[in-house]
Structure 1
Amino acid sequence: MFSKKDGFVSGIEMGARLFKEVGLQVTGIGKDGDFYSAGQTVLEARGSAEKIHSIYKTVQNILEYSSGITNRVRAITKQIEAANSKAKVAVTRKHFPGTKTISLNAALLGGAIVHRAGLSESILVFDQHRVFCKDPVSAVRMAKKQEPEKKIAVEVENEEEGIQYIHAGADIIQCERFNPEALKAFVVKARNIRNDVIINAAGGINDTNAYEYALTCADVLVTSC
């Protein structure tokens, strides 16, 4: 198996394990997350045609899916570095069912952090939750008191909402689809209120605009790549 074009390749170790699972002999294996030139072999196995055909397409799909994620994350982290920013790239849970391990491993190899591996890791307060709550700001204050060990993340759509939830004690303000100018202005105001609040930028962030968002001084750029 070889790369059709220059780029970073991931999913190699998982592919090797699958080859061995069906009885193939792995005779060559590259390193996950490394850069490979077009035509360079990343994984090689030998065995009967029957065994090869039973598994090679699955391995190919894993390599392609994983490498796509790794390369997109690498492109974003490269823009953050160019902006001389300390922001982290965080990947969301928007993966195909059953592919969490593959997706997260590929993202980590690209230099990302995991936004959250499961819903129980933090308290999420999104618009989908607030519409069922008479007083969501008070609810956040209550959650802060009842669950002092958990981070409370609140998604907001404008500056006014963000300020409200900072005063309510939210640990993370996730700014949904703020443009870079609005986000930069909000970060300054948020820091003046509470310097410990974490500011996430989310919604439409990719390898074409990460540089502009990195310049806002947000702590985390959240993306599904």
Structure 2
Amino acid sequence: MLDRLPDSELDRFFEEDCPYGDLTTHLLGIGRQKGRITFSTREETVLCGTEEAGRLLDRCGARVGRMEESGTRLSAGVEFLVADGEAGSLHAGWKVALNLLEYASGIATRTARIIAVARAVNPAVVVTTTRKSFPGTRKISIKAITAAGAVPHRLGLSETILVFRQHTAFLGGLEPFLGMIGDLRKRAPETAIMVEAESVADAVAVAAAGPDVLQIDKVAPADLSALVPQLRKLAPMTRISAAGGINESNAAVYAATGVDILVLSSAYFGRPADIGVRLEPVV
């Protein structure tokens, strides 16, 4: 989706790390020496953020000579980003670029593993991620999950209709709301209507009303396996998604229930990718 974060985002990251210049490099007097920075994988990794890291180094005064694209899957020990420039420029961009690469590639790698285990049992299942990324990181987080093959569940409140119990509570409950689905479809004919259900009984009631997507939250996989065929008969045009605590360890179990979509946040949180950096002078 997002080819590259805007420069304004990169400037924000750089300003956080180097607001007044690099004191160490300045005092050592090495800033004008020619050098090279090389980033490489230390483990199997799905890359993300290479375009941003390269652009950041470029804005610091370096010149990128080689770069693999986001979404590239690499084994351990592969060099994927190389830039030349003065030592001052390379040191200024080093850690900011590395942090961006490790966190974004960590999300991408984790997402790819979740997709792999889910599609091993249900090749048609789609993995989507919520808007529960850490505040301030949504753009790079969304780039990371899409680089791995997932899609955003929701990018925000403005372009999607997803009705929760927290909405229907203000309408007198689930039953009064279900009668409004037809009107919602008329008022927003280009937008899918998604409704969440938190129990088997509510899922059946919602399916009968015919939303575009029925999102079933925190229902155990065993119950979901029995429920999905019933829902298919009741509402054959409604897509079914499972949500609530889905992660790499249980994604296959949820995918095996026959749902169309897995909705999760777990891809955002976990260990960053392990990426090595070599900084060296060039004669």
The reply to whether residue 218 of structure 1 matches residue 256 of structure 2 is no
CA contact (8 A) 1:144 1:169 kept: no
Over residues 145-167 of structure 1, what are the superposed CA-to-partner deviations in whole Å (9 max), with x where a residue is unaligned?
43233211111111111122222
Determine helix, strand or coil for the equivalent of 1:132: helix
The reply to whether residue 97 of structure 1 matches residue 138 of structure 2 is no
Amino acid at match of 1:11: G
* Deviation at residue 24 of structure 1 after TM alignment: 0.7
Choose from 57, 63, 66 the match for 1:28. 66
Amino acid at match of 1:149: E
Choose from 98, 103, 108 the match for 2:146. 108
* Deviation at residue 17 of structure 1 after TM alignment: 1.1
CA contact (8 A) 2:46 2:73 kept: yes
Determine helix, strand or coil for the equivalent of 2:136: coil
Query: 2: CA distance between counterparts of 1:167 and 1:136?
Result: 13
The reply to whether residue 189 of structure 1 matches residue 230 of structure 2 is yes
Choose from 121, 127, 132 the match for 2:170. 132
Query: 1: CA distance between counterparts of 2:149 and 2:44?
Result: 18
Query: 1: CA distance between counterparts of 2:187 and 2:40?
Result: 53
Choose from 113, 123, 128 the match for 2:161. 123
* Deviation at residue 141 of structure 1 after TM alignment: 4.2
Determine helix, strand or coil for the equivalent of 1:2: strand
Partner of 1:38: 76
Q: How many residues align?
A: 225
Partner of 1:175: 216
The reply to whether residue 162 of structure 1 matches residue 200 of structure 2 is no
CA contact (8 A) 2:210 2:235 kept: no
Query: 2: CA distance between counterparts of 1:180 and 1:152?
Result: 24
Determine helix, strand or coil for the equivalent of 2:158: helix
Give 1 or 2 for the bigger CA radius of gyration: 2
Query: 2: CA distance between counterparts of 1:51 and 1:147?
Result: 51
Determine helix, strand or coil for the equivalent of 1:120: coil
Partner of 2:114: 76
Determine helix, strand or coil for the equivalent of 1:67: helix
Pair 1:150–1:37, CA change in 2 (3 A): closer
Q: CA RMSD in A?
A: 1.7
Query: 2: CA distance between counterparts of 1:15 and 1:115?
Result: 26
Choose from 244, 248, 252 the match for 1:203. 244
Choose from 49, 53, 61 the match for 2:99. 61
Query: 1: CA distance between counterparts of 2:133 and 2:92?
Result: 25
* Deviation at residue 208 of structure 1 after TM alignment: 0.7
The reply to whether residue 12 of structure 1 matches residue 50 of structure 2 is yes
Query: 2: CA distance between counterparts of 1:149 and 1:186?
Result: 29
Query: 2: CA distance between counterparts of 1:172 and 1:19?
Result: 43
Amino acid at match of 1:109: A
CA contact (8 A) 1:4 1:39 kept: yes
Query: 2: CA distance between counterparts of 1:184 and 1:158?
Result: 13
Over residues 23-51 of structure 1, what are the superposed CA-to-partner deviations in whole Å (9 max), with x where a residue is unaligned?
11112212322222333212111222322
**Identical-pair percentage:** 38
Query: 2: CA distance between counterparts of 1:162 and 1:202?
Result: 13
CA contact (8 A) 2:60 2:89 kept: yes
